[in-house]
Amino acid sequence: MGRSSVYCDLAVEANSLAIERRGTSIPGVEEDVEYIDDIFVSRIKVTTEEAAHEIGKEMGQYISVHSHDLRGNNREEQNKLSGIIGEELKQLLGWPDEPDDDEPTTFVVGLGNWRATPDALGPRVVGHLLMTRHLYREAPPELRRGVRPVCGLAPGVLGLTGIETGEIVKGIIDKIKPDQLVVIDALSAHSMDRLGATVQVSDTGIAPGSGVGGRSLSINSGTMGIPVLAIGIPTVVHGWILADETLEGFRRESRRLKGIGPLPDQVKDRIIEDVLSPFGENSILTPKGIDELIEEVSRTLGGAINIALHPDITADNLSLYLK
């Protein structure tokens, strides 16, 4: 393998890499950026198949919200972030602000392995959600106002179940017929700076090879038959990226120092494979405090999803609903 085969989960990174390679912006990729206070929001649309191929991301919308407060422990800043991310989710969901009598049902799936801390984001976020579907139908209309029907689970990974997660999810969708699916997964980034600091929301679903676990599944509106919103936060950097970045750093330094040229790819790959053996492409890099990082970002992301799905929950009253 080589760097190009390390899946790039974040569209904002994939776009930057493509721009760097090409030297100009990519036709068919639109990126709007905005600062809300010191929170950086990027909204990318990939509008053509050519653009999708060039940046290595499916056609569709990708919104990323970047702030180091996400992994901090300032609850006020986190609640504010939950509100901002929640608003972006609402935009993608395209819902009316006021619920009506026939509310759409949302099914939320937390991907990943709760026994491996860096991969536990999905299960942890699901644990922070207000599940209401089973209460909703029995409640009189006046009590339903303010919440929408939500259900969800964290099915675990292939090695624990023997079943592809995509099969589990599709089976449940066919049975309970929700109106939309929200999938949460721990992602990998190409930069340490993004760990626990960037949330990506997209309407393209989950692609094979994505996520910390390198999911083998494809979960999108095509395979699932209903709209799919994918939400993720990077919690690891692949070892390959670190080694590659190191060599690139060296090359830049060396050029200044010695005037040597770029390193042939097959030489780079051989060096890196040697260093990463025996786990190779399965080596992941995390910060030491990964448990606290996961705890903090799960809470903030859980809050954002609660805000997006239930009209009664806002950034101001969020702490009355979070577990």
Q: 44-83: which residues touch a second copy (CB under 8 A)?
A: 75-76
> Which of 44, 63, 151, 301 touches a second copy by CB under 8 A?
151
How many positions of this chain bind a second copy (CB under 8 A)? 83
> Which of 16, 218, 254, 314 touches a second copy by CB under 8 A?
254
| Residues 286 and 118: beta-carbon distance below 8 Å | yes
Give the number of other Cβ atoms within 10 Å of residue 146's Cβ.
12
* Stretch touching a second copy by CB under 8 A, among 34-42, 49-57, 224-232, 269-277: 269-277
> Quick one: tokens of 111?
């991907």
By the rule CB under 8 A, 2 interacts with a second copy? no
What character string, x for contact with a second copy (CB under 8 A) and - otherwise, covers 114-143?
Answer: -xxxxx-----------xxxxx--------
User: Which sign does the torsion angle of CA 135, 140, 141, 142 carry?
Assistant: negative
* Stretch touching a second copy by CB under 8 A, among 22-30, 56-64, 88-96, 260-268: 260-268
By the rule CB under 8 A, 226 interacts with a second copy? no
For 52-93, the DSSP string reads HHHHTS-SEEEEEEE-GGGGS--HHHHHHHHHHHHHHHHHHH
Name the DSSP letter for residue 49. Answer: H
Q: Which is nearer to a second copy, 17 or 59 (CB)?
A: 17
- The three-state DSSP-derived secondary structure of 134-185 is HHHCCCCHHHHCCCCCEEEECCCCHHHHCCCHHHHHHHHHHHHCCCEEEEEE
**Closest distance of CB 298 from a second copy, Å:** 11
Amino acid at site 88? E
What character string, x for contact with a second copy (CB under 8 A) and - otherwise, covers 183-212?
Answer: ---------xx-x----------------x
Name the DSSP letter for residue 323. Answer: -
**Closest distance of CB 104 from a second copy, Å:** 14
Residues 6+ apart with CB under 8 A from 226: 173, 178, 179, 180, 181
Binders in 155-174 for a second copy, by CB under 8 A: 155-156, 158-164, 167-168, 170-174
> Quick one: tokens of 12?
């904002």
By the rule CB under 8 A, 276 interacts with a second copy? yes
Q: Which is nearer to a second copy, 21 or 270 (CB)?
A: 270
By the rule CB under 8 A, 38 interacts with a second copy? no
By the rule CB under 8 A, 101 interacts with a second copy? no
By the rule CB under 8 A, 285 interacts with a second copy? yes
